[in-house]
Amino acid sequence: MSSIDSSRTFRLADRPVQRLGYGAMQLAGPGVFGPPKDEAEALAVLREAAANGVNHLDTSDYYGPHITNQLIRKALHPYGEDLVIVTKIGARRGTDGSWLPASSPEELAQAVYDNLRNLGLETLEVVNFRSMGRAHGPAEGSIEAPLGAVAELQRKGLVRHIGLSNVTRAQIEEGRRICEIVCVQNHYNLAHRVDDVLIDELARDGTAYVPFFPLGGFTPLQSSILSEVAQGLGATPMQVALAWLLRRSPNILLIPGTSSRAHLRENLAAAELDLPPDALAALDGIKMDSRSP
């Protein structure tokens, strides 16, 4: 486990961002499909995040689809100069809400244009190529063809920086031979630490690691140790889970997702939470699922 780091910011590409950001996936309707139940609350969540200094927003045009980006535009456009919106491409939604690969050059270009239109931007700051691999885990295999197509969109000036999502270390190495990779977004949290070695490697060369499902995603984190530590600190389990990630490595940028302002406030307050050594040791010892899913 790497040392405690109290820094509030980390460089994402060439921009310093708050390490506690926001993931917008929860703003769409159930199953990340269709409109939100409460649009006013969704817009309020986005505005409150920005008002509280969140300047790293994670999204995709396939959330909704289109709807999450349209909400971001409605809530926050024109965007503050320090806001970094990171989107991802490589998938599309079936009419039944299914998640399908979409990584041909034509589909990737279409996804970039969809993001530009729905976010109201002329250039996308960071685009993650999301390899479909398995559902929430990567599968080995070359990403040269789709990443080459994304790099071509970068050369056209539509994309400023490129990251990778749901990838293996070999795929990151392959990706770096094609273009600069500014961040990696994979499944990681207190109970799922497959990427432990990778995180430390990326930290050494200054690349941001952005865990998706930091709170467990569709299966919220549950652990008696986590609950006990939280109770002892007068915090909630989700706050402790986020505070643990902030201390796990300085290159970790958090994008917890929520559709409620109450949870947003709770999550942002995790930046203030101090984890004493005994709490950290207990959390480090939580039985993990270290297998690839």
Quick one: 154 or 258, whose CB is closer to ligand NAP?
258
Quick one: 38 or 156, whose CB is closer to ligand NAP?
38
Q: What is the CA radius of gyration of the chain?
A: 18
Residue 123 vs residues 72, 73, 74, 117, 210: alpha-carbon distances, Å: 16, 14, 18, 10, 21
Active-site residue, from 62, 63, 79, 209:
63
Q: In the bound complex, what is the minimum distance in angstroms from residue 120's beta carbon to ligand NAP?
A: 19
Q: In the bound complex, what is the minimum distance in angstroms from residue 254's beta carbon to ligand NAP?
A: 9
Q: DSSP character for 272? A: G
Quick one: 155 or 258, whose CB is closer to ligand NAP?
258
Quick one: 32 or 149, whose CB is closer to ligand NAP?
32
Residues 147/178, Cβ–Cβ less than 8 Å:
yes
CB-closest chain residue to ligand NAP:
257
Q: In the bound complex, what is the minimum distance in angstroms from residue 34's beta carbon to ligand NAP?
A: 15
The dihedrals phi and psi of 258, each to the nearest 5 degrees, come to -155, 155
How many other CB atoms are there within 10 angstroms of residue 20's CB atom?
25
Sign of the C-alpha dihedral computed for residues 190, 191, 192 and 197 taken in this order: positive
Instruction: Judge residue 112's burial from the number of C-beta atoms within 10 Å of its C-beta, 0-12 exposed, 13-18 middle, 19 or more buried.
Output: buried
**7: CB partners within 8 A, 6+ apart:** 19, 250
Closest CA to 137 of 172, 103, 188: 188
Q: In the bound complex, what is the minimum distance in angstroms from residue 141's beta carbon to ligand NAP?
A: 16
Sign of the C-alpha dihedral computed for residues 152, 84, 113 and 101 taken in this order: positive
Q: In the bound complex, what is the minimum distance in angstroms from residue 114's beta carbon to ligand NAP?
A: 16
The position carrying tokens 């995040």 is: 49
Contacts to ligand NAP by CB under 6 A: 23-26, 58, 88, 130, 165-166, 185, 212-217, 220, 238, 255-260, 263, 266-267
User: 72: number of CA atoms within 13 Å, CB side?
Assistant: 34
Known catalytic membership, residue 22 = no
Quick one: 15 or 130, whose CB is closer to ligand NAP?
130
Quick one: 58 or 174, whose CB is closer to ligand NAP?
58
Q: In the bound complex, what is the minimum distance in angstroms from residue 16's beta carbon to ligand NAP?
A: 20
- The catalytic residue positions are 63
